[in-house]
Structure 1
Amino acid sequence: MAEWLWIFDLDNTLHDAGSQIFPRISLEMSRYLQRHLGLDEQGAQALRDRYWKHYGATLRGLIRHHGVDSAHFLRETHPLHELLDCLQHEPGLPRHLARLRGRKVLFSNAPRHYVDGILQRAGIERQFESVWGIEDVRLQPKPAPSGYRRIMQQLAVSPGSMIMVEDSLDNLRTAKRLGMRTVWISRARHRPAFVDAVVRNIAALTRVGWVRRGPQEASC
C-alpha cells in the first residue's frame, strides 16, 4: 500500500515560535541592521518592511543592495542557545509524529543551525529522513515554488502523494497549486478552499480520515 510523504514546516507548526522565539529573532534582525548599516531603530524596521514586501525576505534585500553575507546574518540573528531556552511544543510530540505512517521531511524558511537545534532539543530529529533550511533551497523562501520543486525533484515523489503541514496559508496555497494535499495547523473555524484539513495540533493529524486511507485511496 502506498504511503504519504509528509512535508512539515517547523515554526508555529511543530513548536510555538510566536510567543517568545519570533520576537527575539525580530529584535536581533533590527539590531543587526542598526550595527552593520548604521541605522536607528525606526530606519531598521522600515528597511526590513520594505525588503520583506519586495523580496519576501529581509535577507534577500540585504544581499542584493548591501552585500551582506547570508551565513553571518543568519547566525547573528538566530542565537541558538538563547532561543532553545524559549522552546515550547505540545506534550508527546515525538510520539505523535511517530504514529504517522509514511516518510517525513522538514522544510523551513529558517537557517539550518536553528532548525537542527530545535529538532534536537525537541527530541524529534530522527523522525525526518531529510531536513531543508533556507540555505538548502538557495535562499528562496516559501511560498516561492522553487524550493518545493527542488524537494520534489530530489525525493522523486509525485505531489499527489505528499501532504504539506503548515501554519502559513500562503505556503499552503503554493503547495496546493503544485498538487499536494494540505493541512493547516490552526484554531480557525473556517477552511479555505485550498486547505484539505484544519487541525489544532500534531496529535490531531491521525484523526483526519483521508490521511488514514493513504494517497491511492484518498484520491478515489
Structure 2
Amino acid sequence: MMKVVFDIDNTLYSYSETGFSQYMLGKITEFIADRLNMEPEAAKKLGLGYLESYGLPAFPLHKYHGVDLVDFCRFVNSCDYSRLTRSEELIQLLQRLKDAGHDLWIMTNADMPHAHSVLDALDIKHFFVDAATNELRGFDCFLQWDHSEPKMQNKPQRGAYEALHRMLDPSVPHNDVVMIDDAIANLEAPHHLGWRTVWISHGNELPSTVTYKPDVVVKNIFELPTSPEFLAMSSTA
C-alpha cells in the first residue's frame, strides 16, 4: 500500500482553465504593496523573489516584515472556486487508487480553507478524508511550518517533507510514498529522501538544471491511468 501525496494547485486541476495563477500572483503583489507601503512594481519583484527562494512568500514576509501569516493566506487564496469543474476522469483515477488500497493525501503551500474549497468544488474531498477520524488527510503551509520547527519550512524545502513523513508514519518505507506535483522544484527533496515522484509537466521540458529524473512524467493528471510507469508503481506497492 502506498501513501500517494497530491499537490493541489495546477495538479488536481489546471491553472490554464481557471486563471488562478495570475490571480494569486496579483493578490500577492496587492498584499505586499498595501501592507508594506510599496509601489506595485517593487512589491511584485519582492513577492516573486520570495516565491522563487522560499516556495511561498508568506513565511519570509512574516520573518522579515512582521506580516501576519493568516492575513496573508486569507487574502491571497480568495479565489473564485466556481471556476473549477467536476471531472469524472479525475474521480475515476482517485477511486482506482483507493480501491487498490492506497492512502491519498494532500500537501499544499496554500492553507487548509483553500484546500477544502478546491476539493469541494472538484467533488473529490471524500477521497482524502480519514474514515476513522473524519478529518482531511492534508498538510497545508501551517502544518508544514508547525511540524518543521524551529526551521519552519514548506515545499520545496526538505524539512517539510520530512515532517510529512513523520505524520504519515515514520515506519512507512520511503519508497512507498509517492509525491505528485506540477512544480519540478517540489520533487527534488522527495526524490533524495527516497520517495517516488510524479511530475505533472503540462508539456514543459525537464529543465537542464535538474540533476535527477522523476519516476513518472505526464503532461497532466489525466494521463496517469495510461502511464506504464505509474501503473507499474501503483500495482506493485
Asked if Structure 1 and Structure 2 have the same fold, meaning a TM-score greater than 0.5 normalized by the shorter chain, the answer is yes
2:181 aligned residue: 166
Structure 1 window deviating more from structure 2 (139-148 vs 191-200): it is 191-200
TM-score, normalisation: structure 2: 0.80
Give 2:156's aligned amino acid: P
Residue 159 (structure 2) pairs with residue 146 (structure 1): yes
Contact 1:166 1:183 (C-alpha < 8 Å) held by counterparts: yes
Cα 1:119/1:216, change in 2 over 3 Å? closer
Give ranges in structure 1 of 5+ residues lacking alignment.
none
Q: Percent identity?
A: 25
Higher relative contact order (CA 8 A, sep 6+): 1
1:131 aligns with 2:130: no
Residue type of the alignment partner of 1:68: V
> Closer, same or farther in 2 for the Cα pair 1:83/1:163, shift >3 Å?
same
2:222 to 193, 198, 203: 203
Mapped partners of 2:203, 2:14: distance in 1 = 16
Where does residue 176 of structure 1 map in the other structure? 191
Provide Cα deviations, 1:25-78, integer angstroms capped at 9, x if missing partner.
111111112222111211211221333344443212211122111001110111
What is the distance in 2 between the residues matched to 1:189 and 1:69? Answer: 35
- Aligned-residue Cα RMSD (Å) equals 2.4
TM-score (norm 1): 0.86
Shift of 1:118: 0.2
Give the partner amino acid of 2:15.
A
Which amino acid letter does the alignment assign opposite residue 119 of structure 1?
A: L
Partner of 2:81: 84
After superposition, the Cα gap between the structure-2 partners of 1:34 and 1:174, relative to the gap in structure 1 and judged at 3 Å, is: same
Aligned counterparts of 2:215 and 2:51: Cα–Cα separation in 1 = 28
Q: Distance in 2 between matches of 1:215 and 1:114?
A: 28
Amino acid at match of 2:51: W
Correspondence 1:30 to 2:29: yes
Say whether the 8 Å CA contact 2:4–2:105 is kept in structure 1: yes
